[in-house]
Structure 1
Amino acid sequence: MTDAKQFYDYHSWANKRICNHIENLPEETAYQEVKSVFPSISDVLLHMCRADYIWLNVLSGVAYQEIIVGAGKFESLHGNMEAIKQHSSELESQYHDFFSRQTDLEQTVSMQHPKLGTLETTYADIILHVVNHGTYHRGNVTAMLRQLGHTGVPTDYVYYLYEKRESKG
């Protein structure tokens, strides 16, 4: 099986492709109101960034209440694509730091949630959740781009694998 770190690398690759694609469109595209799950593309990307922050802190063993307080800092990024990209880049570095310190991603970890209770799972399962969550919301972005009259950009896992193969060759 492919390891969780490679899936995370795919997640980062796909997020960068989306952001780079949006940067090549008219600036207002990211902020235009769309009748969708989120009011704008920048709102989706902010949500994804916040979620990546939350799950990195879960992986790091930070207490739930502390994570929620820390996630509040993302409100200041609303409507600022450059700041969202910067935070995403910083989070990617922090995830890689986590990977360098965590040698066994199949290790069991216990998560506490005030409403859902305790969950015994693995670091790998949480990372796969992060990737799956990102994939879902990149689909939202693609649909929103089409509503606004723009094309999307391919971010399927197989495109990542092809690009990875090309960079080795």
Structure 2
Amino acid sequence: MKTIQKMYEHLNWANRRILETLQSIEDENQRGRQYFSHILLAEKVWITRLQGSDSSQLPIWSEIDIEVCAELVKQNEESFTAFLTNVANTDLDKIISYTNSKGKEFTNSVRDILTHVALHGQYHRGQINSRLRAEGVEPVTIDFITLVRTKP
């Protein structure tokens, strides 16, 4: 559980860092904002599933402005923090059933879903950094080791 909690500490930190950069150049990086929107919307979908609610009608790819992104960063961090605080080690192997946006049903363990969400976001944050570099903007340092080096 400590590793998963650390992964979410990193996820939240990285999301805040990407948000700050996109806020400072909002009009200049539409594709980066699309990727970031996708990360945040997907996090919202997954936490909804983990909470036992239907997520099939929630968007995964949708154009949202930077202010909505900022609110989602905050909401997702609060939701995942509360979820991780309440989940016990024994609950990590609990199986969750859900229906995706195309109507297909799946089952996965809480552990696998939490791992997926953390890795999914990092993949797309890398795409955002690639877009930033292509547009002449310094990429955001979001490596996990950078986070842990700053912690006592």
- Which 5+ residue runs of structure 1 have no aligned equivalent? 32-39
The structural deviation recorded for 1:45 is 0.9
The structural deviation recorded for 1:42 is 1.1
Is the Cα–Cα contact under 8 Å of residues 30 and 41 in structure 1 kept in the other structure?
A: yes
The structural deviation recorded for 1:102 is 1.6
The one of 74, 94, 97 aligned to 2:79? 94
Say whether 1:124 aligns with 2:115: no
With over 3 angstroms needed to count, the CA separation of the structure-2 counterparts of 1:67 and 1:140, relative to structure 1, is same
Look at both structures and tell me which one has the larger radius of gyration over its CA atoms: 1
Root mean square deviation of aligned Cα: 2.2
Superposition TM-score, scaled by structure 1 size: 0.77
Is the Cα–Cα contact under 8 Å of residues 49 and 96 in structure 2 kept in the other structure?
A: no
Alignment partners' CA distance in 1, 2:61 and 2:127: 20
Superposition TM-score, scaled by structure 2 size: 0.85
Q: Identity across aligned pairs (percent)?
A: 22
The structural deviation recorded for 1:110 is 3.0
Is the Cα–Cα contact under 8 Å of residues 16 and 73 in structure 2 kept in the other structure?
A: no
The structural deviation recorded for 1:128 is 1.1
With over 3 angstroms needed to count, the CA separation of the structure-2 counterparts of 1:80 and 1:110, relative to structure 1, is closer
- Match for 1:139: what amino acid? G
- Which 5+ residue runs of structure 2 have no aligned equivalent? none
The residue number in structure 2 matching 1:163 is 150
Is the Cα–Cα contact under 8 Å of residues 110 and 119 in structure 1 kept in the other structure?
A: yes
Instruction: Please give the residue correspondences for 1:9-88 in structure 2 after superposition, counting only pairs within 5 Å.
Output: 9-24=9-24, 26-31=25-30, 40-62=31-53, 66-69=54-57, 71-72=58-59, 75=62, 78-88=63-73
Is the Cα–Cα contact under 8 Å of residues 8 and 128 in structure 1 kept in the other structure?
A: no
Alignment partners' CA distance in 1, 2:7 and 2:126: 17
The residue number in structure 2 matching 1:37 is none
Q: Between Structure 1 and Structure 2, how many residues are aligned?
A: 148
Alignment partners' CA distance in 1, 2:28 and 2:117: 26
The structural deviation recorded for 1:29 is 1.9
Say whether 1:153 aligns with 2:140: yes
The one of 89, 95, 100 aligned to 1:109? 95
